[in-house]
C-alpha cells in the first residue's frame, strides 16, 4: 500500500514537471484552405501566445496545458487538437523502436483505456503502418509492466488516440486531446442527408462576414447547422460547452482548473430574448426534428423555425432588417441530374436578386455550377462528404 502511494506521488511530481509545467507544442487540425480562420480564432482565444504559425492542414502553436483546454472548448473552426509528444528522425524500424522506448507514456495515458494508433507515411523508408502501430503499442505495454500507470476514475472517451506521422524519415508522434471530432458539439442527435459539418458552417459564416447584430436567414436549414452555430456565437456559448474531451481522461487533467475555466466562460454567456435567426425548410419532418433537438438548450429563443418554401416567401415577412442569408441547397445524388441542379441554382440566384437586395449571402454550390456576375461575389473551394464544392459569397 505504502509502495503504491509512493509511486503515485512520484508520478504526480513527474506529471507536474514534465507535462503541466512545461510549454508544449499543439496542432489544431482544420479543413484545407481554412487554416487562416483557425489562426485568427486562436489569436483571439489565446492572445498571450506569440508562437503560432499556419501549416498545411492546420495551425501549430505553443502553450501550456490549460491553453489546450481553452482551444478545445472555444474553437469553432478546428476539427481536432493534437499535442506533440516527440519528433525524431528514423530510417528503419529498429531506430524507430529505440527512439520511442524512452517515451514515458504513463505521463499521458491512463492505464484502463484502450489505445488506438493512427499512422500516416509519406516518402519515408519506414512505410509499413502496421509495424509502426504495433511498435507503439508494444512500447506502451512495456511501460505498463515497468512503471506505475494511473487509472482514470470515470472514463469519458471510448479510446485514446495516438497519431504517428512519417514524412521524409522524420517522425512526429502526437496525442489526441479532443476525442471525438470537434464538429460534434453535443447538441444534435439526429442527422439529415448530407449535413454540413459544424466546423465548416462556422467557417462559412465567418467568411461571409456574419455579424451577430444582424439577422441570419437560413431558408434551407435541414438539421439547422448554420442556425445553431449562429445562435452559439450570438449567445457567446463556447462551441464545446455541451461535450467532453479526451484530455479529461489524462493523468495530468486538473478538474479544478477545468471547472474554473468553465465558470469564467459562463459569466460571458448572454442569452437572447429577441429572435434574430430565422430558419426554415420545405420539409416538415426536418423542421420538427430540428425544433425537438434544440428545445432543451438555452440558445433556443434566438431561433425561429418555420416550415416554408424559400421560393414562396420574402425576408420582409419576418424581419425589417438586412443581414446574411446562407443557403446549402440539395446537390449531387439528392438533386438528380446536373440539368435539374443547374435549374435549381438559377432559381436560387434569381430569387436572391429579386428579394434580398442589400443582403450579404453565402451559397454552397457544386463545382459544375456557373453563376452570372449580376452582383459582386467571391468564390472559395472546400471539401465536404468527399466532394469538392464552391462557396459563393458577397453582397446583393
| pLDDT for 334 | 53
Quote the CA–CA distance of 192 and 83 in Å, as a whole number: 33
When pLDDT is averaged across residues 48-74 and rounded to a whole number, the result is 96
Q: Give every CB contact of residue 374 below 8 A, 6+ residues apart in sequence.
A: 349, 353
Among 99-108, 125-134, 192-201, 385-394, the least confident range: 192-201
| pLDDT for 340 | 87
Residue 373's pLDDT band, with cuts at 50, 70 and 90, is low
Quote the CA–CA distance of 244 and 292 in Å, as a whole number: 22
- Look at residues 360, 365, 368, 359 and name the one whose alpha carbon lies nearest to residue 379: 365
Residue 110 reports pLDDT greater than 90 = no
The more confident residue out of 328 and 158 is 328
Residue 374 reports pLDDT greater than 90 = no
| pLDDT for 382 | 86
Residue 1's pLDDT band, with cuts at 50, 70 and 90, is very low
Quote the CA–CA distance of 135 and 130 in Å, as a whole number: 9
With H, G, I as helix, E, B as strand and everything else as coil, classify residue 384: strand
Judged by phi (left if over 0) then psi (alpha if -120 to 50, else beta), residue 57 lies in left
Percent pLDDT > 70 in the chain is: 93
| pLDDT tens per residue across span 239-273 | 999 999 999 999 999 999 999 999 999 999 998 77
Quote the CA–CA distance of 337 and 325 in Å, as a whole number: 26
Quote the CA–CA distance of 32 and 9 in Å, as a whole number: 44
HSE, CB side, 13 Å, CA atoms: give it for residue 77: 25
Homologous superfamily assigned to 198-235+270-395: Vaccinia Virus protein VP39 (3.40.50.150)
Strand partners, 120: 165
Residue 361 reports pLDDT greater than 90 = yes
| pLDDT for 61 | 98
Q: Are 62 and 26 in contact (CB under 8 A)?
A: yes
Q: How many angstroms separate the first and last alpha carbons of the chain?
A: 73
Q: Give every CB contact of residue 346 below 8 A, 6+ residues apart in sequence.
A: none
Domain ranges of the chain: 2-176, 198-235+270-395
CA 180 to chain centre: 9
Residue 387 reports pLDDT greater than 90 = no
Among 11-15, 164-168, 225-229, the least confident range: 11-15
With H, G, I as helix, E, B as strand and everything else as coil, classify residue 241: coil
pTM over 0.85: yes
| pLDDT for 372 | 72
Helices marked H in the chain: 2-15, 35-45, 65-74, 93-100, 129-146, 198-207, 225-234, 255-266, 284-294, 338-355
| pLDDT tens per residue across span 265-318 | 999 999 877 789 999 999 999 999 999 999 999 999 999 999 999 999 999 999
| pLDDT for 322 | 96
| pLDDT for 199 | 95
Q: Can you spell out the DSSP letters for 115-141?
A: EEEEEEEES-S---HHHHHHHHHHHHH
- Look at residues 319, 331, 301 and name the one whose alpha carbon lies nearest to residue 358: 319
| pLDDT for 194 | 61
When pLDDT is averaged across residues 38-57 and rounded to a whole number, the result is 95
Strand residues in 244-386 grouped as ranges (E): 277-280, 303-306, 324-327, 360-366, 377-384
Percent pLDDT > 90 in the chain is: 75
Residue 335's pLDDT band, with cuts at 50, 70 and 90, is low
| pLDDT for 4 | 67
Q: Give every CB contact of residue 98 below 8 A, 6+ residues apart in sequence.
A: none
Q: What architecture is the 2-176 domain classified under in CATH?
A: 2-Layer Sandwich (3.30)
Among 13-17, 193-197, 204-208, the least confident range: 193-197
Mean pLDDT of the chain: 91
Residue 44's pLDDT band, with cuts at 50, 70 and 90, is very high
Amino acid at each position: 500500500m505504502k509502495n503504491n502511494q509512493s509511486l503515485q506521488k512520484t508520478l504526480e511530481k513527474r506529471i507536474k514537471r514534465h507535462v503541466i509545467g512545461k510549454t508544449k507544442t499543439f496542432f489544431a487540425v482544420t479543413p484545407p484552405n481554412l487554416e487562416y480562420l483557425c489562426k485568427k480564432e486562436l489569436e483571439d482565444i489565446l492572445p498571450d501566445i506569440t508562437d503560432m504559425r499556419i501549416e498545411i492542414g492546420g495551425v501549430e502553436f505553443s502553450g501550456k496545458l490549460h491553453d489546450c483546454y481553452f482551444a478545445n472548448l472555444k474553437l469553432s473552426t478546428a476539427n481536432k487538437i493534437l499535442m506533440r509528444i516527440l519528433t525524431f528522425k528514423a530510417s528503419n524500424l529498429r531506430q524507430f523502436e529505440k527512439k520511442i522506448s524512452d517515451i514515458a507514456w504513463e505521463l499521458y495515458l491512463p492505464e484502463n483505456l484502450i489505445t488506438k494508433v493512427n499512422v500516416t507515411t509519406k516518402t519515408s523508408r519506414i512505410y509499413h503502418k502496421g509495424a509502426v502501430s504495433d511498435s507503439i503499442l508494444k512500447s506502451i505495454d512495456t511501460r505498463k509492466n515497468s512503471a506505475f500507470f494511473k487509472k482514470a476514475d470515470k472514463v469519458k472517451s471510448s479510446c485514446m488516440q495516438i497519431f504517428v506521422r512519417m514524412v521524409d524519415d522524420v517522425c512526429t508522434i502526437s496525442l489526441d486531446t479532443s476525442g471525438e471530432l470537434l464538429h460534434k458539439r453535443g447538441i444534435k442527435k439526429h442527422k439529415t442527408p448530407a449535413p454540413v459539418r459544424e466546423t465548416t458552417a462556422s467557417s462559412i459564416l465567418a467568411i461571409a462576414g456574419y455579424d451577430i447584430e444582424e439577422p441570419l436567414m437560413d431558408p434551407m436549414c435541414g438539421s439547422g447547422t448554420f442556425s445553431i452555430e449562429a445562435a452559439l456565437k450570438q449567445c457567446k456559448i463556447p462551441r464545446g460547452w455541451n461535450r467532453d474531451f479526451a484530455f479529461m481522461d489524462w493523468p495530468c487533467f486538473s478538474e479544478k482548473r477545468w471547472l474554473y475555466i468553465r465558470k469564467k466562460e459562463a459569466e460571458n454567456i448572454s442569452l437572447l430574448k429577441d429572435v434574430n435567426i430565422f430558419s426554415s425548410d420545405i420539409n416538415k419532418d426536418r423542421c420538427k426534428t430540428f425544433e425537438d433537438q434544440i428545445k432543451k438548450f438555452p440558445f433556443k429563443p434566438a431561433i425561429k423555425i418555420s416550415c416554408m418554401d424559400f421560393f414562396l416567401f420574402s425576408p420582409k415577412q419576418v424581419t425589417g432588417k438586412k443581414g446574411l442569408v446562407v443557403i446549402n441547397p440539395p446537390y449531387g445524388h439528392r438533386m438528380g441530374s446536373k440539368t435539374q441542379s443547374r435549374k435549381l441554382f438559377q432559381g436560387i440566384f434569381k430569387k436572391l436578386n429579386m428579394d434580398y437586395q442589400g443582403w450579404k449571402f453565402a451559397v454552397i454550390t457544386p463545382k459544375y455550377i456557373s453563376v452570372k456576375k449580376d452582383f459582386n461575389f467571391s468564390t472559395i473551394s472546400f471539401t465536404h462528404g468527399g466532394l469538392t464544392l464552391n462557396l459563393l459569397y458577397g453582397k446583393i
